[in-house]
Structure 1
Amino acid sequence: MTHPVRIAVQLQPQHADYGQIRDALLRAEDAGADVVFNWDHFFPLTGEPDGQHFECWTMLGAWAEQTSRVEIGALVTCNSYRNPELLADMARTVDHISGGRLVLGIGAGWFERDYDEYGYEFGTPGTRLADLAQALPRIKERWARLNPPPTRDIPVLVGGGGERKTLRYTAEHADIWHSFADLETLRHKSAVLDQHCADVGRDPGEIERSVAVRGDPSESGEALVAAGATLFTVSASGPDYDLSSLRDWVAWRDAR
């Protein structure tokens, strides 16, 4: 399966009023982004630790109404914060509001402050990964039972690079795999994912490879494509949400 080259931006919902986030969302759509992500945390990850911050999924519901073309989603939802059946229903609802433009990004979770202040059990990386493993099929089972069902097979994006578990879950359940890896690590982990696909009897070409990027696309873009990546995600933080990098990557996409 051949995937088209696509460009995404993660608008980090920190250090900004919502009006500034909404403005950045609309500017990103106008700039030609294919996907706009936020993230699923309760406190800023950079800058002032107690700075302004907004919740992920209520924001995605608003984004579904405020946009008309881009896909939207979280990069990524923390599995620990919501019951899998509830998350499935939330995703189905945003899918309908958006007219079929939701991507369900999901991961095992890692930011301990979120857990501590909101009363979730942090556990260990192993227990969080085990929870993710049992949540992924439950989400899909709930989608099959909801009335009305989702408007489409909602794409599932799994974020992470753990070779023994996370990439195995990706092979079993995901449509997109997201990595923060450099070029050589991306090649290695993509090969590991291919082997997991072989082990579970799945065509590895079905899984779109996504990678976080920065800098000049003319210096790294084609090498990443050759390594199998086709979805490239830049990031921007509040309050200014500088989208110059997004525009550079969109221009590179359009010139290929």
Structure 2
Amino acid sequence: CGKCVEACKYDAIDLKMETKTINFKVGAIVWATGWTPYDANKIDNLGFGKYPNIITNMILERYASPNGPTKGRIIRPSDGKAIESIAFVQCAGSRDENHLPYCSYICCMASLKHATYIREQYPDAKIYIFYIDLRAPGLRYEKFYNKIKADDKVFFIKGKVAEVSEDSGTKNITVVAENAVTGEKIRQTVEMVVLATGMQPSAAISRPNSELNYNPDGFIINDFNKGGMFAAGCANKPADVVSSNQNATGMALKAIQTLVRR
């Protein structure tokens, strides 16, 4: 509509601008190419794309956002109703040799955060968290985990989800898992399921046209002896925002050192 051009007082928008390639000669490059959520459609046994009330953690984040599709309200996708029960499936695609063999680092804490979203909107909702190993790295994260654990309507089940199914009438989802502690087979029916999908390095999906070394999982390996090109944050390993910022600062300093020593 062109209204952005009228609104920009700096005359910084050109709607007729065409794509062009610009070449720069530089002394160092910091690759901070970030990450991409693993495609949940590839995880056949967890029902994403097949059952409407199974979503990913990124979709839930959009629901909870004030400028998201539901204006911040977390509701069932199939009918827009309030939620009385919900299950979080951890390691959806992570720590799985058929998908991502590594821990994606952020998923456990993200689901604990999402549990607080649910609790704020639905004080009486039952929340089930199915996990392989719950990881809360750092003192503050551990305290946050203990806070969630104190909620008597949040249930932690140590067990990898094997399958899910849908009731065609209610659209409720039944989650099947084996409790790794008791050996009991669990069939838990909930109104909605959230898959905590893993973290995939963007550079592994679309590899930059450069002389970079990658580990088997697609993360860029830093070669400090060679110098000149450095990977930061999730381009180098799974990381949260805090550790990504710290790592990026270190890589920026490494780049400066490379230039100074030449």
Q: TM-score, normalised by structure 1?
A: 0.31
Normalised by the length of structure 2, the TM-score is 0.30
- Higher Cα radius of gyration: 2
